[in-house]
Amino acid sequence: MSEFQNIGLIGRTESDSAVISLRRLIAFLEGEGFSIVLESETAEAVLGHEARVSSRERLGQLCDLVIVVGGDGSLLSAARALAKFSVPLLGINRGRLGFLTDITPDQIEQKVGEVLAGKYMAESRFLLDMSVTRNGKAVGAGSALNDIVLHPGEFIRMIEFELYIDGQFVYTQRSDGLILSTPTGSTAYALSGGGPIMHPKLDAVVLVPLNPHTLTSRPIVVEGSSEFKLIIGKQNITKPYVTCDGHEQLTTEPGDVVRVHKKPHRLTLIHPIGHNFYETCRSKLGWLN
């Protein structure tokens, strides 16, 4: 008997191709006798099913495995909601790059079947927690599997901030912002900003300046358990934004303090047997074979 009996499904509902793959996945799972729980928004996009329906967070309590049908963004969103429940995630790619969602639509029956039969690789990834305080009072918080980004928001204007790591002053920087990225996010926005690619097993965070005014300001890789503090400069004309995985967003005020640290809960990603990080880089980033 499979260790995964109750299977949660989350789909990219605005994508017709993802809905087609969801229907195919549901038919396969029902045929194999598994119990299916559909996330509520996903259920609205897939009519005619007889599966249980649940809120996204409730899936973490009801399911042994959650399968995400969509792109990396869909999996990032699921990870933020479900990491605290320790339920593993498996991704079927209906997006573009697919660094995290590594099963192709034509492999659904074969690869999902193998995973459910116990033939899989499990990988642990950490997330980042972020909080913003103003005059000592909390004004917002968020979490990210890829990155926390400080940026100017609506206006293209340099911002000034101070950076502290583990209580030690690093620098005052004027730039378009700063990316604080996990190894998972090192192949995303941080890569386009000139940051290094980090292997997912690394316990590290990379800080990538966005168009810094000082040309000697370069990416820094530090220990993953570090505590980061950003103090928004009081001379800023614009009000910088802080975003989590490009999704959750907060507007800061001059003098606000942004704190970032590793989330206590880790995410388990499930991959089919044979998953290879370097092969993924070759195929997704166009490296030569």
Q: Is 77 left (phi over 0), alpha (psi -120 to 50) or beta?
A: alpha
Nearest to 101 by CA among 247, 270, 227: 270
Dihedral angle sign, alpha carbons of residues 37, 38, 39, 43: negative
123 CB neighbour count, 10 Å cutoff = 17
> Which three-class secondary structure state does DSSP give residue 54?
strand
Q: Which DSSP helix (H) or strand (E) runs through 172?
A: strand 168-175
Task: Using alpha carbons, select from 69, 201, 60 the residue that is nearest to residue 122.
Answer: 201
Residue listed under structure tokens 């599966």: 51
| Secondary structure element (H or E) that encloses residue 186, with its range | none
Catalytic residue at 166? no
Answer whether 125's CB lies under 8 Å from 95's CB.
Answer: no
Q: Considering Cα of 182, then 186, then 190, then 193, what sign does the dihedral take?
A: positive
Give phi and psi for 245, each to the nearest 5.
Answer: 55, 30
> Which residues of 182-240 form beta strands (DSSP E)?
204-210, 220-223, 228-232
Written as one letter, the residue type at 57 is E
State the catalytic residue, choosing from 16, 64, 72, 102. 72
- C-beta neighbour count of 136 within 10 angstroms: 6
Q: Which of 28, 26, 24, 20 is nearest to 8 (CA)?
A: 26
Report the catalytic residues: 72
